[in-house]
Amino acid sequence: MASWNSTGIDEDQVLVEERRFARILTLNRPKQLNAISFTMVSRLLELFSSYETDPSVKLVVVKGKGRAFCAGGDVSAAAHAIKESEWRKGAYFFRKQYTLNYLLATSSKPQVSLLNGIVMGGGAGVSIHGRFRVATEKSIFAMPETSLGHFPDVGASYYLPRLRGFFGEYVGLTGARLDGAEMLACGLATHFVPSERLTQLEEALCRADTSQPSIISAIIDKFSRTPILHEQSAYNRLDVIDKCFSRRTVEDILAALEEEALKKKDDWIDSTIRDLKKASPTSLKISLRSIREGRLQDAGQCLIREYRMACHVMRGEVSEDFIEGCRALLLDKDRNPKWEPSKLELVTDAMVERYFSRIEDEEWEDLKLTARPNLPASATSKL
C-alpha cells in the first residue's frame, strides 16, 4: 500500500540507468505489478522535471520489471485514505499524478515506453502520453476503472476519444482488454516489437545521440513487425462499435447493443453487454461524459477536469461506489459489488453534473498546470 504521508523518496521504486545521452527508467515494484505509488509518482516527477533542462539527456526509455509494465495506480491506498476520512491525502496523490501526466504529455524529450506486459490505468498515464509506445506479444492494455466505481483518468479522456471512431468509448466504458496487435491497430501503441528483440532495441536506442523523433522512430522500425489481429478482435467490430457507442447516453448505447444482439447470436456483443451491466452505473455515466468532453479539450484541460472528478469520487458525497468497488474486487474479492445507485436510470443528470463542478471546500483548489513554452510540435498539438 502506498504511504500517503511519505515525504522521502525511495529511489528503489524507480531504477535509473545512465547510458550516454539516454536514461533508462525501470518501474521496480514487481510484486505489486509495478502499481503506481505516491513514492513512484514523486520520483518520476523529479526525474522528468530535471531531464527537461538537462542538455545531456536526449532520450528517456521507460519499462517495467517483471511481467508488468504497470498494472495501474495503488487504488487500495486511495480507498484506505477515504475510509480514514482523509480524502485530501488521496486528492494530493491524484494532483501529483496528473501533474506528472501533463509533464509527460508536453515533454520536450522523446519518451520510449516498452510495454512488455500489463498496462492498466495509471500505467497508461505514464506511457501513452509519451511520443513512442512499443507493444509486444505480451502486452495487455485495459482501463478497468468503471468496474471499480472510478472512471478512466490520468488523461484518458484526452487520448481515448482520439482513437478511431468511437473505439475509445468502448475501451473506456467496458474496460475491455486489448493485446499488443490491437494496441498498434487502434493507435495506443506506435510500434510492435517482439519481446525477444527488446534488449537489442534498447541497446540501439542508447547508441543514438539524438532527440530527433524521426531518427528514433526509424531505429524502432528496424526491430518492428506488423502483428496479425486475431479474428475475434474487437477492432474487427468497429462498425458495430461505432453504431452503438456513438449514441448519446449510456442507456442508448446499451439499447443499441441489445438490438444488435437480437439480430444474431454474437458472443462478443453478449460479453460487452455483460461488462456494461456489471460496471458502476454512476461510473459509466460520468466516464461517457468525460470522454465526450475530452474530444474538444486539450490534455491540460482534460487533466484539470479529471482532477475535479477524482476529488468528488474521493469525497463520496454523490456515490460511494469507489469504496465498494475496491472492497469487492481488491479487498474481500467477492467480485459482487453493490452499486448505489444500482441502476442507470437512478443516476440523474444533476448527480452527474456534480462530478464536473468545483469542490465546495475552502481549502480546495483546481489543479494548476504550469505553462509550457518552447515546446516541440508533438507536444504543442496537445495544448
Grid coordinates of 272: 460487452
Distance from C-alpha of 58 to C-alpha of 83, rounded to nearest angstrom: 43
Q: Which of 90, 123, 145, 202 is catalytic?
A: 145
Of 175, 153, 147, nearest in space to 327 by CA: 147
Distance from C-alpha of 97 to C-alpha of 44, rounded to nearest angstrom: 10
| Beta strands in the chain, from DSSP E residues, in sequence order | 14-19, 22-27, 59-64, 68-70, 111-115, 118-120, 132-135, 140-142, 178-179, 191-192
Q: Which of 72, 74, 125, 153 is catalytic?
A: 153
Classified as helix, coil or strand, 132 is strand
Verify whether residue 73 is a known catalytic residue: yes
Q: Which of 64, 73, 130, 155 is catalytic?
A: 73
Grid coordinates of 61: 526509455
* Cβ-proximal residues to 93 (8 Å cutoff; 6+ apart), any chain: 2, 4, 38, 41, 73, 77, 78, 81
> β-strand 14-19 against 22-27: which pairing, if any?
antiparallel
Verify whether residue 145 is a known catalytic residue: yes
Classified as helix, coil or strand, 126 is coil
Q: Which of 90, 117, 121, 122 is catalytic?
A: 122
**Sheet of strand 59-64: strand arrangement:** 14-19, 22-27, 59-64, 111-115, 132-135, 191-192
Of 304, 294, 298, nearest in space to 381 by CA: 298
Q: State how far Cα 28 lies from the chain centre.
A: 19
- Give me the active site residues, please: 73, 122, 145, 153
